[in-house]
Amino acid sequence: MVPVNPSDPSPPPLPAPKPPWWRDRRVVPWVVQAVVGLLVLLLIAFLLGNLVRNLTAAGLLLSWRWLQQPAGFDISESVLPFNAQLPYWRALAAGLVNTIRAVVVGLVGATLLGTLVGMASFSHNGLLRRLARVYVEVVRNIPLLLQLVFWYFVVFLTLPNGVAAIQLPGVVLAKSGLYIAGLGEGLRWMGPTLVNGVWQAPVRLSVEFGALLTGLIVYSGAFIAEVVRGGIAAVPKGQWEAASSLGLSWFATLRRIVLPQSLRVIVPGLNTQYISLAKNSSLAVAVGYTDLYSVAETTLNQTGRAVEVILVLLAAYLTLDLLISALMNGLNHLVQIRER
Amino acid sequence: MLWNRTRTLGMSLLAAGLLAGCAGEDGGVQSQKLSTITGRGKLICGVEGKLPGFSFVGPDGKYLGLDVDVCKAVAAAVLGDPAKVEYRDLNSSERFAALASGEVDLLSRNTTMTLSRDAAGGNGLSFAPTTFYDGQGVLVPVASGIKDLKGLAGKPICVESGTTTELNLADRMREQNIPYTPLKFQTSDQTFAAYLGDRCVAVTSDRSQLAGKRTSFPNPDAHTLLPVVMSKEPLSPATVNGDPAWADAVRWIVFGLMQAEESGITQANVDAKLAEAKANTNQADLRRFLGVEGDFGKQLGLPPDFVVKAVKAAGNYGEIFDRNVGPASALKLDRGLNRQWKDGGLIYSPPFR
């Protein structure tokens, strides 16, 4: 009697022949990735090494001491107090605040304009619908720089000046800027007044700021209008029909039924437009508005610290854009459909 | 899958190769710039491009001006042909980066020589002799009735950003405690457009630039230069610090133009002078200067007769001045500080020996 081994009734199945490693599906991707990764690292190391070597050769190794030196130039309009004796970093900070000011106001304005125009392209009024199309097509097909120069030199610089300025109660629009009444010195209400041929008022917006803002809002507004139009078009037609069968007006349908549902399509698209707007604000230098880029440019010229100044610029715009992006991603999360 | 990865890998390698090709110009030869220029067969010269008298495009589409003539003289001295120049218009913010990156060989663009621009720890430039001694001025409309800096109190002033002008303005106004609003623009065209658009009551820049720009105004007589001179502005051509042999070549070509005026050598008589030098072995100074004798050209890495070529191309310094900004031009500027040292000016060439 042959002893029976219950665990081994038949010869075990042959193990699949192990392929050589260069044909192994688990190995090859790893090897390729490692090689590519290594090459990228080598490339970065080479470029950085090159930069450091050349900068050392030119005696310009990275140094940040210049940030503490007095800037020596003035800034025409600054939210932060600034004068020429303050160090460069204060000048850059003043520029950054000026940039943020233009970006924030620009974002709000462009969103309002874009939403209105996007809604208008679904209007029953044919004239309004066509006007919205014409606006979008004209504006988004002309370079922004050209538009800024147009707004500044053709529109704002042809405003009347001094006594001839456009005067409304509490508001004066002159070639030098927009002057608005407000609480002045000693918390007294003050309207715009003409002192020695120059308008003075508690609240003053320069025409440079005005031109930049107008340009940014009109330009980004066109793109946002298209995003909004796309979002509205993405809402099924049945929603419109259901709303109108309930007796809701066009505006009520849009506001209560369609727009809330279109938000989840609109918000990701808006994110891109907002980031573009923030970056486009650096064209301010063309119309004489002292933004971060303009200050950085002067700083670069005075100090010769090109690499450092560009690094500061890169970091500032990157932070600004990532911040906008993070906020918009949060908003996107809020407007997504929640499955229950 | 595998194919895709291989392709990605291939592309990375290609990119690495391309970038490696662009980087690492350490240079070991005496003047890399000179051999680059002769190899390329043309000089790349950075100029302002829109400044009457100094560098601007004339009605026939050719560049004209004092700065342009310096480029022509250098091209003639190095390459033997004043037409072998490629001009690049640079604004005041771009100019140093363009020079440092090697995009232009020579910056001949009404640039003020200053310590921080010259120093290796600053912009790291190497300046050639000053071709125009200037000072900062202020241009105002006659109708404004402004007579001095005090009249500008509280008013907006247009200025080009990234210039010494911008800093001098800040300094002078601070000294006298005059509040003002600087409106900065990136290019001179934008700056003057804003001034002509009445956005500013004054525009400040080098006096020569103001005089030059004024000639292209719709009504030049309606604008006047204030008598105040706010700074010293020695406008000089510049090269990068890294190539002393090239800087020397440019320096001595410019000195050559100045020495030619002092020696009475003009565009018209340079050939006659050369013949005279060749015939008279006892005129040692002239023979050396014109390259008949000695090896000055060789020492600089230039042809022996580089001065003859430069003067033939552009004329001597005095001729260049008169033609572009002096009596024979629309600017009609006085020679002033730019007279030869013998006439009480500052134009002075060290000896050619």
What digits encode the pLDDT tens for the residues B49-66?
988 999 999 999 999 999
Confidence of residue A9 (pLDDT cuts 50, 70, 90): low
> Would you state the pLDDT for residue A6?
57
Q: CATH number of the domain that A252 lies in? A: 1.10.3720.10
Asked if B120's CB is within 8 angstroms of A303's CB, the reply is no
Q: Which of A92, A122, A67 is nearest to A303 (CA)?
A: A67
Separation of alpha carbons A19 and A229, rounded Å: 56
Sequence-separated (6 or more) residues with CB below 8 Å from residue B273: B265, B286, B290
Asked if B96's CB is within 8 angstroms of A301's CB, the reply is yes
Q: Examine residue A117 and state whether it is found in any structural domain, yes or no.
A: yes
Separation of alpha carbons A27 and A20, rounded Å: 10
- C-alpha Rg value of chain A to the nearest Å: 30
> Would you state the pLDDT for residue A302?
80
A43 touches chain B (CB under 8 A): yes
A164 touches chain B (CB under 8 A): no
Confidence of residue A298 (pLDDT cuts 50, 70, 90): confident
Asked if A175's CB is within 8 angstroms of B199's CB, the reply is yes
Confidence check: pLDDT of A322 > 80:
yes
Length of chain B counted residue by residue: 353
> Would you state the pLDDT for residue A59?
60
Check: CB of residue B133 under 8 Å from CB of residue B338.
yes
| Partners of residue B64 on adjacent β-strands | B56
Average pLDDT, chain A: 88
**A257 to chain B, minimum CA–CA distance in Å?**
46
Check: CB of residue B135 under 8 Å from CB of residue B211.
no
The phi-psi region of residue A145 (left if phi > 0; otherwise alpha if psi is between -120 and 50; otherwise beta) is alpha
Percentage above 70 pLDDT, chain A: 94
Range of the domain at A299: 88-141+212-335
**A75 to chain B, minimum CA–CA distance in Å?**
7
> Checking DSSP bridges between strand B106-107 and strand B156-160, what pairing results, if any?
unpaired
Asked if B198's CB is within 8 angstroms of A285's CB, the reply is no
Percentage above 90 pLDDT, chain A: 53
Higher pLDDT, B210 or A176: B210
> Would you state the pLDDT for residue A84?
84
Confidence check: pLDDT of B294 > 80:
yes
- Pick from A47, A54, A73, A194 the residue to mutate for testing the B interface (most B CBs within 10 Å): A73
Percentage above 70 pLDDT, chain B: 92
Asked if A176's CB is within 8 angstroms of B199's CB, the reply is yes
Q: Examine residue A34 and state whether it is found in any structural domain, yes or no.
A: no
Confidence of residue A7 (pLDDT cuts 50, 70, 90): low
User: pLDDT tens across A130-172, in order?
Assistant: 999 999 999 999 999 999 999 999 999 888 887 788 888 888 8
Residue whose tokens read 């009504």 = B219
Confidence check: pLDDT of A14 > 80:
no
Q: Measured between alpha carbons, how far is residue A273 from residues A151, A167, A224, A336 in Å?
A: 21, 35, 7, 19
A90 three-class SS? helix
Q: Examine residue A43 and state whether it is found in any structural domain, yes or no.
A: no
Chain B positions in Cβ-Cβ contact with residue A207 (cut-off 8 Å) = 199
Confidence of residue A340 (pLDDT cuts 50, 70, 90): low
Confidence check: pLDDT of B128 > 90:
yes
Q: What is the ipTM of this complex?
A: 0.74
Separation of alpha carbons B274 and B312, rounded Å: 11
A84 touches chain B (CB under 8 A): yes
The two three-digit tokens of residue A311, written as one number: 């690094």
Check: CB of residue A195 under 8 Å from CB of residue A120.
no
CATH, domain B32-133+235-343, list 3.40.50.740, 3.40.190.10, 3.40.50.2000, 3.30.200.20: 3.40.190.10
Q: What is the largest CA-CA distance in chain B?
A: 84
Confidence check: pLDDT of B323 > 70:
yes
> Would you state the pLDDT for residue A202?
79
Which residues of chain B are in CATH 3.40.190.10 domains? 32-133+235-343, 136-231
CATH, domain B136-231, list 3.65.10.10, 3.40.190.10, 3.40.710.10, 3.40.50.1820: 3.40.190.10
Confidence of residue B123 (pLDDT cuts 50, 70, 90): confident
**A29 to chain B, minimum CA–CA distance in Å?**
7
> Would you state the pLDDT for residue A2?
54
B11 touches chain A (CB under 8 A): no
A154 touches chain B (CB under 8 A): no
- Pick from B107, B114, B198 the residue to mutate for testing the A interface (most A CBs within 10 Å): B198
Separation of alpha carbons B351 and B14, rounded Å: 54
A290 touches chain B (CB under 8 A): yes
Length of chain A counted residue by residue: 340
Nearest 5°: phi and psi at A178?
-105, 125
Q: Which of B183, B189, B231, B191 is nearest to B207 (CA)?
A: B231
Q: Measured between alpha carbons, how far is residue B40 from residues A328, B31, B178 in Å?
A: 52, 14, 52
Helices (H), A173-284: 207-233, 237-245, 250-252, 259-280
B269 touches chain A (CB under 8 A): no
Chain B, residues 142-161, CB within 8 A of chain A, namely: 153-156, 161
Q: Which residue of B has its CA nearest to A34?
A: B9
> Checking DSSP bridges between strand B43-47 and strand B85-89, what pairing results, if any?
parallel
Asked if B116's CB is within 8 angstroms of A302's CB, the reply is yes
Check: CB of residue B235 under 8 Å from CB of residue B321.
no
The beta-carbon neighbor of B5 closest among A32, A74, A285 is: A32
Average pLDDT, chain B: 88
Confidence check: pLDDT of B13 > 60:
no
Confidence of residue A4 (pLDDT cuts 50, 70, 90): low
Chain B, residues 289-348, CB within 8 A of chain A, namely: none
A34 touches chain B (CB under 8 A): no
Structural domains counted in chain A: 1
> Would you state the pLDDT for residue B22?
41
User: pLDDT tens across A215-269, in order?
Assistant: 999 999 999 999 999 999 999 999 999 998 999 998 899 889 999 999 989 999 9
> Average of pLDDT values for A74-89?
88
Confidence check: pLDDT of B1 > 60:
no
Chain B, residues 120-139, CB within 8 A of chain A, namely: 120-124
> Average of pLDDT values for B318-333?
92
B197 touches chain A (CB under 8 A): yes
Sequence-separated (6 or more) residues with CB below 8 Å from residue A105: A213
Chain B positions in Cβ-Cβ contact with residue A85 (cut-off 8 Å) = 174
Separation of alpha carbons A205 and A210, rounded Å: 7
> Would you state the pLDDT for residue A12?
67
Q: Which residue of A has its CA nearest to B162?
A: A298
The two three-digit tokens of residue A115, written as one number: 């939403």
> Average of pLDDT values for B246-261?
96
Check: CB of residue A120 under 8 Å from CB of residue A132.
yes
Asked if B167's CB is within 8 angstroms of A297's CB, the reply is no
Asked if B12's CB is within 8 angstroms of A39's CB, the reply is yes
Check: CB of residue A227 under 8 Å from CB of residue A269.
yes
Asked if B100's CB is within 8 angstroms of A32's CB, the reply is no
Asked if A36's CB is within 8 angstroms of B8's CB, the reply is yes
> Would you state the pLDDT for residue A112?
96
**B157 to chain A, minimum CA–CA distance in Å?**
10
Confidence of residue A191 (pLDDT cuts 50, 70, 90): confident
**A277 to chain B, minimum CA–CA distance in Å?**
21
Q: Examine residue A130 and state whether it is found in any structural domain, yes or no.
A: yes
Confidence check: pLDDT of B329 > 60:
yes
User: pLDDT tens across B154-212, in order?
Assistant: 889 999 887 888 888 988 898 899 988 889 988 888 899 999 988 899 999 999 889 88
Residue whose tokens read 């010769």 = A304
A38 touches chain B (CB under 8 A): no
